[in-house]
Amino acid sequence: MTTTLEHLTPVGADPAGGGLHRRLNFFTALIFGGLSAFIAWALSHHFLNSDGSGFSDQVTVLASIGWVLGFELGIGALTPIGRWIIGKDQVRDDELYLAGKNMGVRRHWKYCTDHKVVGVQYIVVTAILLGAGGILAMGIRTNLMTPGLHFVNQQVYNSFLSVHGMVMILALIVAVAGPWANFVVPIMVGARDMAFPRLNALSLWTLVAAIPLLLGSLAIGGLDMGWVTQAPISEQTGVGFDLFAMAIVTFTISTTVAGINTICTVMTMRTKGMNLERLPIFVWASVVAAALGLYAFPFFLVVMSLNLADRMVGTSFFVASQGGTGWLQENLFWLMGHPEVYVILIPAVGALMEITTVFARKPLFSYRTALGSMVSLAGLSALVWAHHMFTTGWAPSLGGPFMVTTEMISIPTGLMFLVILGTLWRGNIWMRLPMYWVFGFLFNFIIGGVTGIYLSDIPVDNQMHGTMFVVAHFHYVFVGSVLFGAIGALCFWYPKVTGRFLDERLGKLSFWLVFVGVQVTFLSMFVSGLRGMSRRYSSYEMIFEHTNLISTMGAYTIMAGMLVLLGAVITSWTGGEPSGPNPWKSKTLEWLVPTPVPLENFEVLPVITSDPYTYGEAQ
Amino acid sequence: MTNQNDNKKHHRDIFIVWALLTVIGVLVGLYATPWLMPKSASHTMSMGILTMVIFTVAAAPVAALVYAVCLYALTIWRHRGEGVPADGPAIRGNGPATVLWLVGSTVLTLFLLIWGLGLLGSDQSAGAKASIEAANGGSAEITVDVTAQQWLWSFSYPGTHVKSLDLYLPVNKDVEFNVTSKDVVHGFWIVQMGIKVNANPGVITTTSVTPDKIGTYTIRCTEICGLDHAFMMTKVHVVSEADFQKWLASQPTRI
Amino acid sequence: MTVTDNHTEHQDHSGAHHEAPEVVDGRQRLAIWLFIGGDFVSMGALMFTYLYLRGVNTTNGWMRIVGMPTQGRTLATLEAGDYTPITNIESKLSTSLNWEIVLALVVSAAILWIGERQLRAARTNDRSFPFYAILASAAATVAIWLQLEQLQKVPQYFVSSNDSSVLMHTTYGSAMMALGTSAIIHAVILILLGIGLTIRSARGVISHDRWFQVRLVRFFWVWVAVSSVILGGMTTLFVGH
């Protein structure tokens, strides 16, 4: 498959610069990135006015830009752009090279356009982000095991919680969409690759470039603004914030490109007969989430840029004494922040719906309801943002309207439950590993969803906002629901990627550890919040010590479970029980191609005559 | 056809499990919720606790339904035996069930909305009222200016010359707080009275409440404000009117 | 699902599965529109910022200069005791420059569009398009230069806090800086696109038979011009407070 128009008579073509360019990989990217960062740092240090109050911020931001550009150059992600500009488009040989033909495992360390390789790379990136965020979570919970700052001091604790939040948010945005919208969706629609394979690789490596910035912010330290970077504290806080913000700016570029790619793939590359109502529900989930992300993430880009501008060049967007206002920051942030949690949730729900059909051996219950609930959830999510601001004192007269829109969101959410329960109804429930996570999700999401409705009620929010009740609520959704969906998706599609089953015993052990750990950690956390413990507290009063100790024990249980899962993923990759191409006897297209999946997916493109949910129906 | 009888059996059994779980949920809502929450020191808080109870009770049947179906699926419908199960019935959807679910969830949502909006509208102290100009009391009987800074709360009583790090309030009098910050955003929360509003630099936000029980209560900061955010708390003392006047009189005058 | 030979693809002897240029173009057009959509949202965010700050006008600070205007002096000279009196601080940025920038962007878009029409209508050996492309880029460069000129006049002032002085801008100035920076970034992208089109058409990669990518670039180029008109309008109509 080609994406160039000049395939018949390649004009000005010659093999892709041979030599140096074909040697580029992750390590050259690190070197180039580091070098550029250093050069940018040194130059800006030398030429910028060091008396200015924004000097260290300017230097840090410029060094970050140097890092990202150098990294992208060093991995070869900017080469296609350069080649377009000078009119040297890629030829078939380049295409195959970039797709990693005959390259073996090492293609995973390179800029590789094969969507399946990108999918595997996203699995690794997700694991790294979850691991880093998880370590920070253990730092937080260890400190909160007892009152009194016995583990770390306030500064370190505040930095831990700020970075933990952001790392985990990034991890969850990509946890399902990254690996599976890339690996699986093109095959599911009957395509040979994504719409824009080179952009696909670009979006992955851009995300990788963002990670050292985000984790580096912790090293430079001084972050005490939480992941929501509220102004004015985010303007006061240490230089680590500039790396934090640049990581986000870099991330928004990655996710915008990825979202456009997903939508174009599904809308324009479906094989013959794959009309919109025959698409697997996971494909729709990926499209809806991508579209919602396209709406939400520009706000993130803008708010971070304005915050950086205030720090670097003395603008006054969020500075009250000069005419600005922190409320602007909060509005812009939550205009992004609320749709974003549905960008996170919808792919996970889509994957779980897919799993349920296979393991109940039944069609998806009410396909249109499933689709409609996702679309209306996405649409409504753009109208609820100020429920995060009920107690800020901003626009009290808007409290009522936002309460209405927020409570209304519970209706499409409830319909998603109907779809999954209806799919389970009278099915032959096959309790293999992926199915465990579906039931865990159902149990947890009710709690997470209902407690969200509590918070949407202003009189309750007046009591609960800013307490551990909120933290427990969103952890039930993020960990208990989204993460369960992500792990379920991993267990489900693992045989397609590796040709082996994920070890069922270890997988079930990790499930029980994580599931029980979630209940212990976060139910106890609800109690902490109900009793009056504020959030983002590095220490607390004695009355909260028992519930905090229990939460910490639960957190360690979750950690144990996740480590068991990691062990299972690693050992089963090459040592697991062989599965064959379609161990779950699923009907979606990805299971009908061989494992490992051939480079261009299909020998001949299939012609589709029905949707993939024909269980129990005459073929 | 056994399908009809099967369905009736499923409905009946699930209904039983559902009813049991609902009862448990309702009991949790009625008893656990108020037990876990701080003791109320204002009408606002009492209504807040009541709302929590009502929401929990309303949520119980919903959660119970989900859990009942899950339990049933895990036990009765579970495929036992080796290998891939046979296909289940090709149920593509169920119009009546979908409509019932949609209508039910809408009715429940509306009920919660009407309760919440009603509460919001009726109780002035439940909402945080923002104003750019300094509030001068309005309908409140007492006004207190609250100033937040890194990392302490200070209070002053307009109309007197009292400035204090302690907050004293007379019982059963409507008090309006005008809240602002000297530096970053802080969150002003009187835990047992159920009111909370942010302290923002450069603006004054307001909230009000009528404390209805004599005692000592807690104020905690709820927006991360830097290093000692976790230690930014103080006490509010609700005393009789007489004791309050005594306390005011005893405070040194500060300009 | 059945699997049969599709016959919509042609496999050439190198093994590549080709798609017709129109198919690829349709896909790329969707991508450009989605990208423009995202850009539209960021424009919305910037407009929200501008209008919100102007509307809220905290501490009356929208256009109020609260410190010592720099007027080209550095902090060092001020601290050394340079207290030259302040004269005629213009707190509002030039409206005429506003519209000159818009004009430059609109003209550059028009040049590209005309060039595209010429390319599509012309006979096969018409080689005028590279000149249109480079001219459009030049006009975009003029827009950048004018924007920089406008931003140079943003009122800056020193505010002292404790023992140091901080360089600051009014919120109006800040909002204009944000809009101006965004304009420059967009114009830089246009210039890169324009240079690409110039080179590609000079080399024959773009021609009368292969013009799809010109249209794609034109979509984005016109969008940038349109958004500059919208923002120019907003910053002209909603200024003072």
Q: How high is the mean pLDDT of chain A?
A: 94
Does residue A165 belong to the interface with chain B, where contact is any CB pair within 8 Å? no
Taking the Cβ of residue A465 and every Cβ of chain B, the question of whether any pair is shorter than 8 Å is answered with yes
Number of Cβ pairs < 8 A linking chain A and chain B: 291
The CA distance from A606 to C9, in Å, is 12
- Taking the CA of residue B18 and the nearest CA in chain A, the distance in Å comes to 14
CA distance A234 to chain B (A): 9
Task: Tally DSSP H helices, then E strands, for chain A.
Answer: 23, 0
DSSP A64-80: HHHHHHHHHHHHTSSHH
- Let me know if residue B84 belongs to a domain: no
Same domain, B170 and B146: yes
| pLDDT tops 90 at residue A102 | no
CA distances from A290 to A173, A257, A352, B90 (A): 10, 10, 18, 31
Name the residue in chain C with its Cα closest to that of B203: C58
Q: How far apart are CA C241 and CA C232, in angstroms?
A: 18
Write down the pLDDT at residue A110. Answer: 95
C-beta atoms of A322 and C21 within 8 A:
no
Name the residue range of residue B109's domain. Answer: 2-78+96-122
pLDDT of residue C4: 46
- Residue of higher predicted confidence among A517 and B126: A517
Splitting chain B (255 residues) into consecutive groups of 10 residues, what average pLDDT does each group show?
73 94 95 94 94 95 96 95 93 95 96 91 51 44 94 93 93 94 96 96 93 96 95 96 93 71
Answer whether residue C127 shows pLDDT above 90. Answer: no
Q: What is the mean pLDDT of residues C109-129?
A: 87
Residue B6 CB neighbours (<10 A):
12
Asked whether residue B10 falls in the same domain as residue B111, the answer is yes
Residues 199-228 of B with CB under 8 A from A: 200-203, 205-206, 218, 220-228
Nearest-angstrom CA–CA distance, A294 and A252: 9
Residues forming beta bridges with residue B234, ordered by sequence position: B219
* Orientation angle between helical segments A399-408 and A433-456, nearest 10 degrees: 160
B203: distance to nearest CA of chain A, Å? 8
**CATH code, domain with B207:** 2.60.40.420
A575–chain C nearest CA distance, Å:
32
B-C contacts (CB, under 8 Å): 3
Residues B170 and B208 in one domain: yes
Domain architecture of chain A: domains with CATH: 112-592 (1.20.210.10)
Contact B73 A429 (CB under 8 A): yes
How far is residue A314's CA from residue A336's CA, in Å, rounded to a whole number?
24
Q: Do B51 and A460 touch (CB under 8 A)?
A: yes
ipTM of the complex model: 0.94
Mean pLDDT score, A542-552: 97
Structure confidence by residue, pLDDT tens digits, A585-599: 999 999 999 999 999
- Give me the residues paired with residue C169 across strands: C156
Same domain, B211 and B144: yes
* pLDDT digits 0-9 by tens, A409-461: 999 999 999 999 999 999 999 999 999 999 999 999 999 999 999 999 999 99
pTM of structure: 0.94
Q: Number of A:C CB contacts under 8 A?
A: 215
With a pLDDT cut of 90, the percent of chain A lying above it is 89
CA distance C182 to C188: 10
Residue A233: CB atoms within 10 A of its CB come to 26
- C24 contacts in chain A (CB < 8 Å): 2-5
List the subunits that have 3+ CB pairs under 8 angstroms with B: A, C
Identify whether B138 is part of a domain: yes
Read off the pLDDT of residues A149-175 as tens digits, 9 standing for 90 and up. Answer: 999 999 999 999 999 999 999 999 999
**Residues A223-251: pLDDT tens digits?**
889 999 999 999 988 899 999 999 999 99
Please state which of the ranges A270-274, A614-618, C30-34, C40-44 shows the lowest mean pLDDT.
A614-618
Asked if pLDDT for residue C184 goes beyond 60, the answer is: yes
What pLDDT is recorded for position C15?
55
Report the C-alpha gap between C194 and C217 in whole angstroms.
8
Cβ contact C53:A323 at 8 Å: yes
Give residue B8's pLDDT. 86
| Those residues with Cβ within 8 angstroms of residue A574's Cβ, 6 or more apart along the chain or in another chain | A498, A500
Range list of H helices, A387-467: 399-408, 410-424, 433-456, 458-464
Contacts of B203 in chain C (CB under 8 A): 58
Q: Are residues B143 and B55 in the same domain?
A: no
In a domain, B208, yes or no: yes
Q: With a CB-CB cutoff of 8 Å, which residues 223-282 of chain A face chain C? A: 256, 259-261, 263-264, 267-269, 271-272
Q: Do residues B145 and B245 share a domain?
A: yes
Strand partners, C17: C11
Does B86 fall in a domain? no
What are the Cα distances from residue C18, in Å, to A284, A293, A366, C10? 27, 31, 37, 6
- Assign B237 to helix, strand or coil: strand
Q: Are B223 and B171 members of one domain?
A: yes
**Final residue belonging to a domain, choices B87, B106, B122:** B122
Same domain, B147 and B100: no
Q: Is B245 on the interface with A (CB under 8 A)?
A: no
- Which chains neighbour A (Cβ–Cβ under 8 Å, 3 or more pairs)? B, C
Q: Which long-range contacts (CB under 8 A, 24 or more apart) does C85-92 make?
A: C89/C65, C89/C155, C90/C153, C90/C155, C91/C63, C91/C64, C91/C65, C91/C155, C91/C170, C91/C172, C91/C173, C92/C63, C92/C172, C92/C239, C92/C240
At which residue do the structure tokens 């899962």 appear?
A565
Radius of gyration in angstroms for the set of CA atoms belonging to chain A, rounded to a whole number:
24
Does residue B83 belong to any structural domain of this protein?
A: no
Q: Does any CB of chain C come closer than 8 Å to the CB of residue A369?
A: no
Residue A18 distance to chain B (closest CA, Å): 50
The DSSP bridge pattern shows strands B129-131 and B142-149 to be: unpaired
Q: Is residue B113 part of a domain?
A: yes
* Per-residue pLDDT at B1: 43
Of C144, C174, C175, nearest in space to C156 by CA = C174
Residues B151 and B48 in one domain: no
Domain boundaries C38-237, corresponding CATH code = 1.20.120.80
pLDDT of residue C20: 84
Residue B87 lies in a domain: no
Beta strands in chain B (DSSP E): 129-131, 142-149, 152-157, 162-164, 167-170, 175-181, 186-190, 195-199, 204-209, 215-221, 233-239
* Number of folded domains that form chain B: 2
The verdict on residue B48 lying in a domain is yes
Closest CA in chain B for residue A232 = B184
Q: In terms of domains, do B53 and B113 share one? A: yes
Please provide the DSSP assignment of C131-147 as one string: HHHHHHHHHHHHHHHHH
